[in-house]
Amino acid sequence: MNNFRFLFFILICCTGVYSQSVAQRPDRKESMNRLDEFVDSYFSASSFKDLGGNSFSEAQAINFRNLFSKNALIFDDITPQILEDPTGGSPYKLRSKPMDEYLEDVHKNFPGGLNVQILNSAIDYSRIDSGMISMFYSRVVKGKNISQARFENHDTLQVDISMDANGKYQIERISPVGSHFSCLNDKDDDGVMDNLDACPQKKGSIRFDGCPDTDHDGIPDNKDACWDEFGNEFNKGCPSSTFVNKFGVSLFTSIAMNSLTIPAPETLSYLQLDKDATNMGEIEMKNGMVTSLLSGIEVEMALNQKNNFSLGVGLLMNKFSTAITWTGFKTEYQAQDIAGNQYRQRLTILSAQEDLDISTITIPVLFKYKSKISEKLGFYIEAGPALHLISIDSKATASFTKEAIYVYKNQAWQYTATYSTNEAWLITAEQVTAIHGDPRTYFQSLENQGYDVAYQENSTPKDASFSMLGFGGIVRGGLMYFLDPSISIIGGPYFQYAIAPQTVKDYKPIDRIESKNQYNSVLNGVKNISSQQIGFLIGVKFGF
């Protein structure tokens, strides 16, 4: 402290502000020495730590208190009030407070005391006649409080000191001339320490854990999906009309009504087919519309800033069973018997039924639009092409008749059977009945001899499997109810169409030589099948 005494002496000499009454006092030197000791005591006690100590010292605090008058006001060194500043200034506010309150705050908040560094000082004796002396000094005060905030204050203070007739000094008031307060571990100066600050690089609000609320909607920017647009809490800070998620995943199921369209074969591969005598008949679904349970998952990505236009791709699975019937089929074509004679054979399918198990995996690519009706209610429209992977298992049974038509040609006094479109000798049920009575025995005897005829024959059930690639489209629409901005219940009707083309080769419904009179599935004879599906979808959509 000798350096401080020397500094005070120089400053006193420099200011030269001595009143005549002081100059005439015989104990001026003694008074100055007392003042010197008083200032030394103030500077040495203001850290509230014993020399070399690491904790708050009650003894130092008592020494410090004794330097002040009873009701002295002191400008706070370093225990700030932390208040929101609507103008954007620093939230750390220092204020003057009574001495006892000041000491109590320092003791409570700074268990390690304060680090005080005096930079310079000066004394003003201009009011000494009235028993007052003012001291000005600048300093740096540092401290770490109980919440680990590292405060630092650069200030310049005016200390008003009273002197009584006996030369006793007491501090009446300490007031600021200038002060710059900061928290070293609060880089954005918002009142929230960096380790607790949710937005440590942005000056924010204490009530929002250090994050700003740019649009003043009561939702901090770090939790506000639309930080620059006034919104509401339910919609994550966005307006009610805004969708907050760029990505979505939907899980859904549907009660679906399915139907198939399978045309009659366009061509048959029988030899010398008589088209005029051929009727392909009709193929119909036996059960009409068939109910099934469809399930699926879709992912989507928004294409615009409002997130109401998006592109989605999905995976849908559907399985149902139905049956098709084939009636009215009749054809005539060239055949050859065991003797090498050519003749015309007539084939009639009395009945044919195929029980179908159909599994479909659909991959749609959908363009989606959605809009809000209210805060929690919206609607959607979706449409796009789809790829269909179709698997069909068929179990078929059929009943049919085979009849023969022979035409004899006279060549060199010999009659030779030949193929012709003109009817001659008919081995038909009607003719045999007229000549021989019961046709079953006659037909059976001819079949035993090798003729490809039958009064009525039931084919052995035959299983067949088909895999085909189909193309189509989907149209959907419905309502959305938002449980929160990222989860909604969706539901509405939809329509789906698919057509599956395939290559047809050498189709014969019944052929004795190749299939031993087994029925050959009609699906082998058509160039395409189509399916239609209508239903009502319900599901859950998750946003991200």
452: which 2 tokens?
Answer: 């490809």
381-384, long-range: CB < 8 A, 24+ apart: 381/476, 381/477, 382/312, 382/474, 382/475, 382/476, 382/477, 383/473, 383/474, 383/475, 383/476, 384/473, 384/474
More confident of the two residues 301 and 512: 301
- Dihedral in degrees, nearest 10, Cα atoms 315, 319, 323, 326: 20
186: which 2 tokens?
Answer: 């609060």
Find the mean pLDDT for residues 158-169: 89
* Cβ neighbours for 399, distance < 8 A, ≥ 6 positions apart: 349, 350, 351, 352, 456, 457, 458, 459
What pLDDT score was predicted for residue 3? 40
H-helix or E-strand spanning residue 349: strand 342-372
What pLDDT score was predicted for residue 5? 38
Cα 101 → chain centroid? 54
- All domains of the chain in start order, with CATH: 2-183 (3.10.450.50), 247-543 (2.40.160.20)
234: which 2 tokens?
Answer: 């339910």
410: which 2 tokens?
Answer: 């006279």
Q: Residue 1: is its pLDDT beyond 80?
A: no
What pLDDT score was predicted for residue 409? 64
pLDDT-based confidence at residue 26 (cuts at 50, 70, 90): very low
pLDDT-based confidence at residue 452 (cuts at 50, 70, 90): confident
What pLDDT score was predicted for residue 487? 95
Q: Residue 144: is its pLDDT beyond 80?
A: yes
What pLDDT score was predicted for residue 514? 56
Q: How far apart are CA 108 and CA 77, in angstroms?
A: 14
Find the mean pLDDT for residues 267-282: 91
- The pLDDT tens digits for 433-445 are 777 777 778 788 8
- The answer to whether 427 touches 446, Cβ cutoff 8 Å, is yes
Q: Residue 295: is its pLDDT beyond 90?
A: yes
What pLDDT score was predicted for residue 421? 53
pLDDT-based confidence at residue 266 (cuts at 50, 70, 90): confident
pLDDT-based confidence at residue 417 (cuts at 50, 70, 90): low
What pLDDT score was predicted for residue 448? 80
264: which 2 tokens?
Answer: 């009659």
Q: Which of 328, 254, 324 is nearest to 287 (CA)?
A: 324
What pLDDT score was predicted for residue 158? 96
pLDDT-based confidence at residue 6 (cuts at 50, 70, 90): very low
Q: How far apart are CA 152 and CA 78, in angstroms?
A: 7
pLDDT-based confidence at residue 103 (cuts at 50, 70, 90): very high
Q: Residue 494: is its pLDDT beyond 80?
A: yes
Q: Residue 353: is its pLDDT beyond 70?
A: yes
pLDDT-based confidence at residue 419 (cuts at 50, 70, 90): low
pTM over 0.75: no
Q: Residue 21: is its pLDDT beyond 70?
A: no
Find the mean pLDDT for residues 316-341: 90
C-alpha angle 506-512-513 in degrees, rounded to nearest 5: 70
What does the mean pLDDT of the chain come to?
87
- The answer to whether 202 touches 220, Cβ cutoff 8 Å, is no
More confident of the two residues 200 and 344: 200
Half-sphere exposure of residue 524: CA atoms within 13 angstroms, side-chain side: 18
What pLDDT score was predicted for residue 422? 52
